[in-house]
Amino acid sequence: MAIRPEEITNIIKNKIEQFNTTVDVSEVGTVIQVGDGIARVHGLNRVKASELVDFGNGVKGMAMNLEYDNVGCVLMGSDQQVHEGTTVKRTGEVISIPVGKGVIGRVVDPLGNALDGKGPISAEKNMPLDIVAPGIIDRQPVKQPLQTGIKAIDSMVPIGKGQRELIIGDRQTGKTAIALDTIINQKNIPQNERCICIYVAVGQKQSTVAQVVKTLTDFGAMDYTVVVSATASDPASLLYIAPYAGCAIGEFFMWQGKDVLIVYDDLSKHAQAYRQMSLLLRRPPGREAYPGDVFYLHSRLLERACKLSKENGGGSLTALPIIETQANDVSAYIPTNVISITDGQIYLESNLFLSGIKPAVNVGLSVSRVGGSAQRKTMRKVAGTLRIDLSQYQELAGFAQFGSELDKESQRQIERGKRMTELLKQNQYAPLKVGEEVLVLYAGTHGYLDTVQVTDVLAYEQQLLSYARTEGKKVLEEMNQAVELTEDLEKEVVGLLDHFKTVFKAGK
């Protein structure tokens, strides 16, 4: 591209001509103390809570504590340029973030600055970070399924659009993997039902976030995904606002009638960042030294997930918050809080993960309180007894360990359970379409696997899928679309499975 100096000069000249030289009046205060990302400011008498204040040199802050003779502000950047006596200006605004189509495919920080080096964000407008969640009138019940592409979840803990489903588990149990697979799976879904995805990284390592962005890019998922990142090296204030920033971006699309999926990875670190800020602001500590309003911190965030009514365009915002537990303890303060706020949880257990059951979903403790009504009828039909079968199996398996003689029925249940457990295993980055999930689970629950060796179950699944994708294309396509498993369709499925029996090669 040829650069024409005259043109540039003209643009600059124009800008200078249009520049209005008004005198600015602003309310000011002075910093009396600064440290640990917190500044105490004298003056600013009329500042409002959560108002954005300007410390100059591009450093902004947020007024958190309005006290008798000073204002406690958290700095949204480095405190190196701020010192005693620095002038602080009111801005009269609350923190907001640029939103719009231009944000999709980008990696941004919680203030809307690009982190991916692809130039500034072109925004449609600015949305305040912290707004009140839509009221009862604005909403309708959750009724559409959100497909994660993960067999264990879509069948037993189904998620509906507009739901809040917690992913909880120890470190390194595949929490992020589930969220990422769900995002990647949106690619499998027709454009009109596909969710716009937002991945909010709170307090994670830069390398982890880079890895996530790379994975999403490799799978082509960045076309409909926004990554909001506040890493471990950012100030606590940025970690604190990151989920709200992500939520604001999502809400913009939701009010346009779109479906949005937002992942908060993870809210434990969010609570810790807030605890740090609160303690430094000298707010009184409560249980586990968290401040008293830590419940409200998360409830006001998760309440913003919703399914809007038809009059409002019918958009939805589904939230998948992630919580990290210590030693599988779900009764700690933050986990219990978030469990009580959300509409269910996917409980990942390190024992399961280590014994090779991945995704390590603990079926007994995982629930979805509203997703059931949103589940597809096809899926509900095949998965109906799955949960009970599996828990019965686990109970019986306990007995069987003692080597006691079991009756035929129990033995059958154990054999079935073993195969179903095997069948529910799923690799990372390999989400399945609904039709495929239903087909595989149908085979399992209708006894097609009973004659297959347990060690061959994975091979059976692989071969069945590739067989169906080539030979049974039509049936599979129908199953992807079908809302209900009609008799005709079921016959076709049975036909496909029966025929596959003759093709299946065990021991491969």
Partner 1 sequence: MNSSKRIVAQRYASAYDALSKTNEEASQRSALLNEVSAALLTQQQTMESPRLSLQSKKQAVRAALSGAPETARFIELLIDAKRYDLLPEIARRVEDLLDQRLGIIRAQVFAAKQLSEAQKKQTQDVLAKRYGGSVKAEFITDPRLLGGLKIRCCGEEIDGSLQHQLNKLQEELTK
Ligand X SMILES: Nc1ncnc2c1ncn2[C@@H]1O[C@H](COP(=O)(O)OP(=O)(O)OP(=O)(O)O)[C@@H](O)[C@H]1O
| 369 is annotated as an active-site residue | yes
Asked if 87 touches partner 1 (CB under 8 A), the answer is yes
Burial degree of 488 (CB within 10 A; 0-12, 13-18, 19+): exposed
Are 205 and 231 within 8 A, CB to CB?
yes
Minimum distance of ligand X from residue 425's CB (angstroms): 8
301 C-beta neighbours (distance < 10 Å), count? 24
Counting contacts by CB under 6 A, is residue 172 touching ligand X?
Answer: yes
For partner 1, the closer of residues 44 and 383 by Cβ is 44
Q: Under the criterion CB under 5 A, does residue 176 sit at the interface with Mg ion?
A: yes
Compute the least distance from the CB of residue 18 to ligand X, in Å.
50
CA pair distance 495, 219, nearest whole angstrom: 34
Return d(Cα 252, Cα 124) in angstroms, integer.
10
Report the residue number, 176 or 480, with the smaller CB distance to Mg ion: 176
Residue 177 within binding range of ligand X, rule CB under 6 A: yes
Euclidean distance between CA atoms 499 and 192, whole angstroms: 34
Q: Which residue has the tokens 């995904």?
A: 225
Query: Where in 39-78 is the site for partner 1 (CB under 8 A)?
Result: 40, 43-46, 67-70
Interface mask (CB under 6 A) for ligand X, residues 311-350, using x and -? Answer: -------------x--------------------------
Closest to 317 (Cα-Cα) out of 225, 150, 195: 195
* Interface segment toward partner 1; rule CB under 8 A; list 29-37, 252-260, 309-317, 481-489: 29-37
Confirm if 140 and 307 have CB atoms less than 8 A apart.
yes
> In the set 215, 229, 426, 480, which binds ligand X (CB under 6 A)?
426
- Binding residue for partner 1 (CB under 8 A) from 8, 9, 10, 12? 12
Sign of the alpha-carbon torsion through 304, 306, 308, 309: negative
* Nearest distance in Å: CB 314, ligand X: 32
Q: Which DSSP state fits 121? A: -
| 61: CB partners within 8 A, 6+ apart | 39, 52, 53, 54, 55, 73, 74, 75, 76, 88, 237
Half-sphere exposure of 331 (CA within 13 A, CB side): 0
For partner 1, the closer of residues 41 and 142 by Cβ is 41
- Give the nearer residue to ligand X in terms of CB position, either 145 or 174: 174
Among 427, 455, 462, 486, binds ligand X (CB under 6 A): 427
Catalytic residues: 369
Q: Which residues make up the interface to partner 1 (CB under 8 A)?
A: 12, 15-16, 19, 21, 23-29, 32-33, 40, 43-46, 67-70, 87, 89
Q: Which residues make up the interface to Mg ion (CB under 5 A)?
A: 176
